[in-house]
């Protein structure tokens, strides 16, 4: 007897797959340009204040640059977060990866699971959860409302297709 693998069984082939990543407006080159400009402006202002004898403000120019570097580092670190969602006739699989690389996997039955959508009249979709038998797992929490809307529509269509 030969055991079938996931790819061999047509019921286990994904009907829908999505990899969700948070949007970051600055890439590596843009980040370097931003930091270099901020450092140059800070040095220029620090030199001006030193020339007029206001040396007590110099540490604050260094502090604001350090805070900017810290904020950019935290933003890029948060940008490494991602989620992988797949729907097959057998299961719904949600894999969440933290910025450090730790993975948490959730599995749901596609016949009993549903997509819970929280909406705000002015904003649109504020939260998405995959729910099944009292268990709710958030999905796509880092996406903006328009991206959540697109993901919710595609996910719902795939779930309906699997249930037919």
Q: pLDDT tens, 61-77?
A: 889 999 999 999 999 89
Q: In whole angstroms, how far apart are CA 83 and each of 40, 96, 142?
A: 38, 4, 10
| Residues in the chain, total | 164
Strand partners, 16: 87
pLDDT in tens, 101-148: 899 999 999 999 999 999 999 989 999 999 999 899 999 999 988 999
Confidence tier at 7 by pLDDT (50, 70, 90): low
CA dihedral 87, 92, 98, 99 (to 10 degrees): 0
Contact status, residue 84 vs residue 19, Cβ threshold 8 Å = yes
Contacts of 13 (CB under 8 A, 6+ apart): 6, 7, 88
Domain assignments of the chain as residue spans, ordered by start? 28-78, 82-163
Expressed in angstroms, the distance from the first to the final Cα of the chain is 31
For residue 110, what pLDDT is reported? Answer: 93
CA angle 7, 84, 137 (to 5 degrees): 115
């Amino acid at each position: 007897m030969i055991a079938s693998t996931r790819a061999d069984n047509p019921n286990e082939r994904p009907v829908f797959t999505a990899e969700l990543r948070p949007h970051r407006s600055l890439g590596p080159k843009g980040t370097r340009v931003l930091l270099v400009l901020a450092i140059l402006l800070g040095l220029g202002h620090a030199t001006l204040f030193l020339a007029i004898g206001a040396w007590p403000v110099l540490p604050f120019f260094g502090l604001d640059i350090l805070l900017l570097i810290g904020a950019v580092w935290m933003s890029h670190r948060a940008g490494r977060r991602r989620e992988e969602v797949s729907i097959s006739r057998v299961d719904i699989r949600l894999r969440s990866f933290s910025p450090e690389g730790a993975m948490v996997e959730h599995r749901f039955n596609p016949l009993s699971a549903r997509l819970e959508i929280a909406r705000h009249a002015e904003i649109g979709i504020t939260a998405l959860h995959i729910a099944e038998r009292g268990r709710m797992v958030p999905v796509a929490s880092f996406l903006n409302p328009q991206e959540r809307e697109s993901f919710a529509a595609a996910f719902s269509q795939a779930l309906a297709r699997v249930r037919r």
